[in-house]
Amino acid sequence: MKLLLINARAIICFVIIASLLSCKKKNEPEPLVITPTVNPIPYSVLAYLMTPADKTFNPDYYRAAKSTLIELQGWYKTHMDNNKTFVLNSVVLDTITAIHNANWFINNNGDSINNGTINYPFNNTKYELKQLLGPKFDTTLYVYCAFVASPGFSDVTIPRGLGVLGEEILKILAGSFPDDAKGETGHALGHAFGLPEVAVPNTDGIMSGGIYKYPDCVIKPWEKDSLNASPFFKVQ
């Protein structure tokens, strides 16, 4: 009888411990995935959280930017009306440490980098990515999205190939009211896919006045035509 009681107690203890371990596992936050994309999918979005050399990696920025990209993939799919959207890699957001400090991204670092234009954050970020990725940087096969943890700019994207978003966007994405910054990110991605600023402003399009109404904004018909012709948009 004593042996049976001891065995019963042992079983009960085992069940309780297993239950506690299971609960702990469920409640633990998803670990950060900070692994470089080894074999990216052709005609996909390669996204990076770029931390300047003088700053520390911010996991809140990482989580917020990653979830935003996944959400925007679904948003584009819903608004394209044909199940097309952009492709994200299994590593949705890579992390990368910049060669330069944060202030470098907002300054004029010479015409060889900035091509005589004043959009310093965009051109500097593009230059930095090229330096870090080398010959792997290829805007014919990939669209890039770079979240740069540098203050002083938000969305500074020039159409086609690369979307650039600064620390102001990251702070809002990681805050309590992220929708405005999600709209900005969706807008930057639109430019990265080749959509220009609209010739005649409208109040509801994500490439115009609808940017701050996200998610209650739209892709205009002529923009859908452009995205439908893009190899980066596929039925998923």
Task: Provide the residue ranges of all domains of the chain, joining segments of one domain with +.
Answer: 30-235
**DSSP letters for 153-204:** -SB-PPSSSEEEE-HHHHHHHTSS--HHHHHHHHHHHHHHTTPPPPSS--SS
Position 18 pLDDT exceeds 90: no
Mean of pLDDT values over 221-229: 97
Q: What is the pTM of this model?
A: 0.85
| Confidence grade of residue 15 (pLDDT, cut at 50, 70, 90) | very low
Instruction: Find residue 22's DSSP bridge partners.
Output: none
Residue from 75, 91, 94 nearest 41 by CA:
91
Average pLDDT over residues 41-48: 96
Q: What would the mean pLDDT of 124-137 be, rounded to a whole number?
A: 95
Q: What is the CA radius of gyration of the chain?
A: 22
- How confident is the model at residue 35, as a pLDDT? 52
CB-based contact 114:16 (threshold 8 Å): no
pLDDT in tens, 74-112: 999 999 999 999 999 989 999 999 999 999 999 999 988
Confidence tier at 17 by pLDDT (50, 70, 90): very low
- pLDDT of amino acid 207: 97
Residue 181 has, within 13 A of its CA and on its CB side, a CA count of 24
| CATH no. for 30-235 | 3.40.390
Amino acid at 99: I
User: What is the predicted pLDDT for the residue at 30?
Assistant: 54
CA distance 62 to 47: 11
